[in-house]
Amino acid sequence: MPPADDSLRSTFPIPDSKIKARKWKIALGSPITWAPYLPVVGAFAFLDIGAGWFAALAAAVTVGIGWYWKGHGQKLESKLLEEVIAESNDKQDKHLIDVALELSAKGHGKYADTMVSFVEKKQQIESAIHGDGDGLTSPKKEVESLTDAVAFGVADQLERLANFDDRLNKSPVPLTVEQRKNIEEARQSVAEQVHSAWNTLEDTWQNLGRLLNPSGGLVDEDATHLELDRAINRLRREQDIAKRVSDRMSQEWSETFGDFESDLSAPIENSQPMGESEKN
């Protein structure tokens, strides 16, 4: 199978002209665009309103239609962008599955299964990226573009592995010792690269939330709790004081009070409230 061209290998960037062309096609074909003109044409044809009134009514209708599409244009563009992305991903997946089918037909079922696994992981990542309802962001574009690059790069390398195997095991021309060694070394290197690619995609899936939102969603959230912070700091001070007292007493009187340190570490009933030790 010939290698995929660059336009198929990555969904992004999507040309603005592609979205605008679809937008105009939908707008011009929509009844919302042409239906309001029917009463104007009817009034001119059957009520004999005159050219001036006809032009004024037509202009008013045009302005109204323009305002409508201006208000709904962004929503339509977002919907069209989703459609273009979905179409691109479908074409990519079809090509990659075709690669898997060709590998299987040539007797390389193991490589075909590997290709299918990469396609499934690619679909899993893309489904999560576009299914959260937060729109398309730069991190999402970056992650998807890199996922595409990994999947198509693996497809290329799996075809190379199949070719290496065929040359090693099915070639009618005998290989020299040096040729076989070179092919086996290249095969091992490619196999390690495919394995590394899988680990990278798996890590991407496991850390997808962090990749898409490094701040963890707390950019605009107030995570402070003054009362809790004061209590934590107070407890830390009390623990530091108790540790210093325990260390000092253990060092100064260890010979006389050999078990004193262990006694200090045990719970003491009816002890003084926190802070009293610091005063004393």
Three-class secondary structure assignment of the chain: CCCCCHHHHCCCCCCHHHHHHHHHHHHHHCHHHHCCHHHHHHHHHHCCCCHHHHHHHHHHHHHHHHHHHHHHHHHHHHHHHHHHHHHHHHHHHHHHHHHHHHHHHCCCHHHHHHHHHHHHHHHHHHHHHHCCCCCCCHHHHHHHHHHHHHHHHHHHHHHHHHHHHHHHHCCCCCCCHHHHHHHHHHHHHHHHHHHHHHHHHHHHHHCHHHHHCCCCCCCCCCCCCHHHHHHHHHHHHHHHHHHHHHHHHHHHCCCCCCCHHHHHHCCCCCCCCCCHHHHC
Is residue 122 over pLDDT 90?
yes
Amino acid at site 135: G
| pLDDT tens string 199-232 | 999 999 999 988 888 765 544 556 667 777 887 7
pLDDT category, 268, cuts 50, 70, 90?
very low
Peptide bond between residue 273 and the one before it cis (omega within 30 degrees of 0): no
| Structure tokens belonging to residue 276 | 């009293």
pLDDT of residue 261: 47
Amino acid at site 219: V
pLDDT of residue 25: 72
Find out whether 250 and 261 touch, Cβ atoms under 8 Å: yes
Question: What phi and psi, each to the nearest 5 degrees, are found at residue 272?
Answer: -70, 150
| pLDDT tens string 146-177 | 999 999 999 999 999 999 999 999 988 899 99
pLDDT of residue 115: 97
Is residue 247 over pLDDT 50?
yes
For all residues of the chain together, what is the average pLDDT? 80
Orientation of helix 51-105 relative to helix 16-29, angle to 10°: 130
The mean pLDDT of 72-80, rounded to a whole number, is 75
Is residue 185 over pLDDT 90?
yes
pLDDT of residue 72: 64
Cα gap 277→180, rounded to integer Å: 79
pLDDT of residue 150: 94
Q: Which residue has the higher pLDDT, 96 or 254?
A: 96
| Structure tokens belonging to residue 213 | 């939102």
* % the chain with pLDDT above 70: 71
pLDDT of residue 155: 95
The model's pTM: 0.65
Q: Which residue has the higher pLDDT, 124 or 261?
A: 124
pLDDT of residue 141: 92
| pLDDT tens string 12-70 | 888 888 887 776 677 666 666 656 666 766 665 666 666 666 677 667 767 766 666 56
